[in-house]
Amino acid sequence: MHIAILTFEGYNELDSLIALGVLNRVGTDDWRVTIATPSPKVTSMNGVTIERMSTLEEACAADAVIVGSGIATREVVEDPAIMDILRRLDPSRQLIAAQCSGALVLARLGLLDGIPACTDLTTRPWVVAAGVEVLDQPFYAKGDIATAGGCLASHYLAAWIIARLKGDAAAESALHYVAPVGEKQEYVERAWRNITPYLPAATGARSNSPVRVA
């Protein structure tokens, strides 16, 4: 399985790289996580330059995609070369998630029609202006589309993707690994409280899970 994290110039490190780290906790041979960029290298809002691991075209064929956030998202959605490629994203055959201002990308692609979204406080008015209801919560998913708001909500998107593709046990293991020592149970339980209502009824084998709703 291929999970691609769309990462643009001016990206937010917390959004792309935390998700990358959590997703890579799966560590099985059939699991590949990449940073997908429109150019060979991109530099973050704080000056961290990373190299492309996959192209946007490859990301559009991935099993799951996270649209990362950054300070130049409004420029991204006005770039026809980028948006023409991203129109190939299709929730009928892949999981699609957006972190913070990534919700604006999904809104402009028409992928949030009739679906409320989570985003950061700065991006909120732009997403609202695009005709999307913005929720005052860190995570929301409907079907195969999910959004998260706030940099430190990026692990919710990663856990949701792992749960959907590998099951609850794998997602819980990944969350437990990255959680602070002495707070692991609290950290994992808080994550599940946010994610569980938006998971299908049988993604895995986590014990004592609350009843899930579609």
Contact 1, 58 (CB under 8 A): no
∠ Cα 148 153 156 (to 5°): 80
Q: How far apart are CA 96 and CA 90, in angstroms?
A: 8
User: One digit per residue, pLDDT tens: the chain, 214 residues?
Assistant: 999 999 999 999 999 999 999 999 998 999 999 999 999 999 999 999 999 999 999 999 999 999 999 999 999 999 999 999 999 999 999 999 999 999 999 999 999 999 999 999 999 999 999 999 999 999 999 999 999 999 999 999 999 999 999 999 999 999 999 999 999 999 999 999 999 999 987 554 454 443 333 3
Please list, in sequence order, all residues whose beta carbon lies within 8 angstroms of the beta carbon of residue 75, skipping any fewer than 6 positions away: none
Separation of first and last alpha carbons in the chain: 24
Distance CA 193, CA 190 (A): 5
Residue whose structure tokens are 């300070």: 71
pTM above 0.85, yes or no: yes
CB 14 within 8 A of CB 5: no
What are the structure tokens assigned to 55, written together? 């192209």
The amino acid sitting at 153 is A
Q: Which helix (H) or strand (E) holds 139?
A: strand 139-142
Tokens coding 137: 């919560």
DSSP-derived secondary structure letter, 204: S
DSSP H helix total and E strand total for the chain: 9, 8
Find the radius of gyration of the CA atoms of the chain. 16
**Sign of the four-CA dihedral 93, 23, 56, 10:** positive
